Amino acid sequence: MSIKKAGGFPSIKSTVLALIKSKRVRANMKNLLKVNQTDGFDCPGCAWGDNKSGTFQFCENGAKAVAWESTENKIGADFFAEYSVTRLLNQSDYWLEYQGRLAEPLKYNSATDHFEPIEWQQAFDFIADKLNTLAPNEIELYTSGRASNEVAYLYQLFGRTLGTNNFPDCSNMCHEASGVALNESIGIGKGTVTLEDFDHADAIFVYGQNPGTNHPRMMNALRKAARNGCKIVSFNNLKEVALERFASPQDPVELLTPAATEISHMYLTPKLGGDMAAVRGMVKYLLSIDTPLNKPFIDEHTQGLDDYIKVVNDTDWEQIVEQSGLSKNEIQQTAVLFASSNNVISTWAMGLTQHKHSVDTIREIANLHLLFGQIGHKGAGLCPVRGHSNVQGNRTVGINEKPKAEFIESLEKEFGISLPKQSGHNVFHALKSLHQRQSKALICLGGNIAAAASDSNFTFEAVRRSELNVHIATKLNRSHLLVSKDALILPCLGRTEIDRQKSGEQAITVEDTFSMVHASHGGTEPEGLNVKSETAIIANIAQTTLGDKPVKWTWLAEDYGRIRDLIAKTIPGFDNFNEKIKQPGGFYLGNSARELKWNTHSNKANFSTEQLPDALFPLEVTEQIAKQKQTVFTLQTLRSHDQYNTTIYGMNDRYRGVSNERKVLFINKKDAKKQKLADGDAVSLTSIWPDGVERKVDGFKIKTYDIPKGNLAAYYPETNPLVPLDSVGDKSYTPTSKSVAVFIEKSKTFIATH
């Protein structure tokens, strides 16, 4: 069935179903009313901002996240006595998390192959003893972007005091390319706009992003803008229904009738990886018709224009059209719209960041903004829309394998110790190092590194080879089960729960996509759970490992305000931190580029001057593709409507018309016909990479779809076995999850798909 609009009544229905599934309808109704409210908690869903207006501030997918965390189901000693690790490994990701909240600390017993309960202090002693036998560079400290500022700050201080900058984090697989690109172009790795700017834009360009599913609250901003006459231009490889027509669940007419708001004024479907060519084409056209550039802005604030213009002139239209997959006419129309608008915002997400040439693509968008001075004024700017709810805050407070020298100096001054300055490991280097057994301990502050990272066979083995694995988590997942020797699971409080420490109830803080920092207080009791807060867990591990060096860790965790005082002393922008979070809505951290201050080497905003890439893939892969007998496609791996990254809430992808299925392969009708495939046929996918390793997944069902010829789409994490670990973005090391070279074959045997 084709879906005509996103949002509307089915969203409400799906919200209610999620509450029922949690078996705590009443408590979670209460929870939902507290989401993103001044006295409530920050939605554990995405990092979109909110205006704390007093009306509903949650969306269908935020409700799923809340209900998933705040479930009645629990797993503890009995569950783990029943299931061996080997048995659990045979279960799906969905099944593992669905069993419920992790209810007590556990340690793996390799003799019995079961996790068994352990006392908290024994767990801390065990971890400390092991860490104290290792060299600092043998320890990997992973973070997923849900951790609060307070725990993230303690965590980085702990790692650095141990002597390492090995902080692989989910950003490495996510918006790393945005950070690298924006730092080089405008001197700060964050977006320059605020939520309010969306009310003042007269054009919004949305690249490679599916907000209807992944940032549903962004749909409210887009809907409002569209209704006010703002022109929205979507660049997306797929026709995502929410970007076409959206019905607000808060508007009675749109809720109950077929009415909806048309979101996109123009909708372009470039080929995978074709956005840089599209934007280059826009600039080329505008230069060719002598469009007046913003000369005063360019002269005062930028450098490198002449070289950029030369590169643009040297790029020919043939290459632009071929690589973008768009017509010259489409490109010209969007260009005119950009240049004729007073205030333009560009937003993007994984469709831009997970390619080989992602950094150059994002810099090309920055170039376009610089040409017209579309940055640093109301309603204009660059907006990478972040994923995890506090992934941006984690970076701000020091989760970074390549810390800036000033930050390390500031910590050294405050704590009177010497800290490591050389770069540590990102996810790519951490997995390589674990695989080579050079790293020996993996501590995970949340997340699911094994399922989230690419090249599943290699990655699973890398995690399994670690001598010590420590997972601080709310729900059981695959990473916890990849054990050989010593492994511990330390269960923690979730965002929705009350966090009591010695000084009383605690608030944590988070930073959204718009650099707004605010407090979050959980509201429900963690009934029947022997859990600790993440902050308390990290403080105890640090205290047991390091003693009071350089701080009394557990004393800090008795009152999170003490941690915030340290953040205020060592990180710019946080003065009076404890006072400022009392303001409703929190406070704005500021953004240098928005103020037209450029923290780059040149002290100016820099035009980038890169050629278009010769191909989406490295030369060796391109050569191999040329020799291939089968037709080679480019596959993107993406999210369904019923998942949060590796957490699978259900088997439907409502907006794309998929139900009860996750192993689906979206393919153009003509491509399917050529391959003699029909809807429902089962196929295998094999990726192409020049290392002789077979990377294959099987049992994916064909679904013909509106997608450019030569491109495919399928869900992650099921497709992660196909993404070679070495296939990463230039300068960013982000896995190229949106461009994998693959060929398809009919499945030889019937395979049950879930």
Ligand X SMILES: Nc1nc2c(c(=O)[nH]1)N[C@H]1C(S)=C(S)[C@@H](COP(=O)(O)OP(=O)(O)OC[C@H]3O[C@@H](n4cnc5c(=O)[nH]c(N)nc54)[C@H](O)[C@@H]3O)O[C@H]1N2
Q: Which is nearer to ligand X, 7 or 273 (CB)?
A: 273
What residue is closest to Mo ion based on CB? 387
Question: Please, which residue, 509 or 737, has the CB nearer to ligand X?
Answer: 737
Q: Which residue's CB is nearer to Mo ion, number 174 or number 742? A: 174
Among 238, 331, 510, 517, binds ligand X (CB under 6 A): 238
Tell me the C-alpha distance between 522 and 537, whole Å: 18
Taken as a whole, the chain contains a residue count of 754
Q: Which two tokens stand for residue 721?
A: 């076995």
Taking CB under 5 A as the binding criterion, the range among 68-76, 166-174, 191-199, 623-631 that sits at the site for Mo ion is 166-174
DSSP-derived pairing of the beta strands 504-505 and 587-588:
unpaired
447 binds Mo ion (CB under 5 A): no
Of 20-28, 82-90, 232-240, 620-628, the window that binds ligand X (rule: CB under 6 A) is: 232-240
- 3-class SS at 637? strand
The H or E element spanning position 621 is helix 619-627
Q: Which of 341, 737, 743, 744 binds ligand X (CB under 6 A)?
A: 737
Position among 178, 358, 543, 645 found at the interface with ligand X (CB under 6 A): 645
Interface region with Mo ion, contact rule CB under 5 A, candidates 170-178, 395-403, 604-612, 702-710: 170-178
Q: Based on the number of CB atoms within 10 Å of its own CB, is 567 exposed (0-12), middle (13-18) or buried (19 or more)? A: buried
The values of phi and psi at residue 116, to 5°, are -130, 150
Beta-carbon contacts of residue 61 (< 8 Å; ≥ 6 apart): 45, 46, 213, 214, 216, 641, 644
The yes or no reply on residue 174 touching Mo ion (CB under 5 A) is yes
| Residue 381 sits in the site that holds ligand X (CB under 6 A) | no
688 binds, among ligand X, Mo ion, none (CB under 5 to 8 A by kind): none
Q: Which residues contact 589 (CB under 8 A, 6 or more apart)?
A: 396, 511, 515, 516, 517, 573, 574
481 is an interface residue for ligand X by CB under 6 A: no
> Least distance to ligand X from the beta carbon of 238, Å?
4
Question: 261 or 479, CB closer to Mo ion?
Answer: 479
| Stretch near ligand X under the rule CB under 6 A, chosen from 271-279, 308-316, 405-413, 498-506 | 271-279
C-alpha R_g of the chain: 25
Least Å distance between CB 427 and ligand X? 9
SS3 assignment, position 744: strand
- The answer for residues whose C-beta is within 8 angstroms of residue 751's C-beta and 6 or more apart is 682, 698, 699
Q: How far apart are CA 492 and CA 447, in angstroms?
A: 12
The stretch among 280-288, 561-569, 612-620, 642-650 that binds ligand X (CB under 6 A) is 642-650
How many residues bind ligand X, per CB under 6 A? 61
Beta-bridge mates of residue 519: 509
The binding track of 685-724 with respect to ligand X, each residue x by CB under 6 A or -, is -------------------------------x--xx--x-
- Provide the token pair at 163: 């002597």
Q: Does 491 bind ligand X (CB under 6 A)?
A: no
Give the Cα separation of 321 and 86 in Å (integer). 51
- Looking at the Cβ atoms of 351 and 618, the one nearer to ligand X is 351
577 neighbors 565 (Cβ within 8 angstroms): yes
Residue 738, contacted partner among Mo ion, ligand X, none, CB below 5-8 A by kind: ligand X
160 interacts with ligand X by CB under 6 A: no
Cis peptide preceding 717, ω within 30 of 0? yes
Q: Which is nearer to ligand X, 70 or 448 (CB)?
A: 448
Q: Which of 235, 553, 617, 633 forms a contact with ligand X (CB under 6 A)?
A: 235
* Long-range contacts formed by 549-554: CB under 8 A, 24+ apart: 549/161, 549/417, 550/157, 550/161, 550/415, 550/416, 550/417, 551/157, 551/415, 553/154, 553/158
Q: How many CB atoms lie within 10 A of CB 525?
A: 11
Instruction: Please list every residue from 76 through 135 that binds ligand X, using CB under 6 A.
Output: 97
CB of 53 to Mo ion, least distance (A): 27
Judged by CB under 6 A, which of 636, 668, 687, 727 binds ligand X? 636
Q: Does 518 bind ligand X (CB under 6 A)?
A: no
**Scanning residues 380 to 399, which ones bind Mo ion (CB under 5 A)?**
387
Q: For residue 323, what are its two tokens?
A: 């690589």
State the SS3 of 14-83. HHHHHHHHHCCHHHHHHHHHHECCCCCECCCCECCCCCCCCCCCCCHHHHHHHHHHCCCCEECHHHHHHC
The interface with ligand X within residues 391-430 (CB under 6 A) comprises none
22 binds, among ligand X, Mo ion, none (CB under 5 to 8 A by kind): none
Distance CA 327, CA 448 (A): 41
387 lines the binding site for ligand X (CB under 6 A) = yes
Identify which of 320, 399, 397, 336 has the alpha carbon closest to the alpha carbon of residue 368: 336
The distance of closest approach from Cβ of residue 289 to ligand X in the complex, given in angstroms and rounded to an integer, is 25
Q: Which is nearer to ligand X, 65 or 605 (CB)?
A: 65
Tell whether residue 325 is a contact of ligand X (CB under 6 A).
Answer: no
What is the binding site for Mo ion (CB under 5 A)? 174, 387
What is the binding site for ligand X (CB under 6 A)? 45-46, 61, 97, 144, 146, 170, 173-174, 207-210, 213-215, 235-238, 240, 270, 272-273, 275, 349-351, 354, 387-388, 445-449, 452, 472-475, 477, 492, 494-495, 534, 636-639, 643-647, 716, 719-720, 723, 737-738
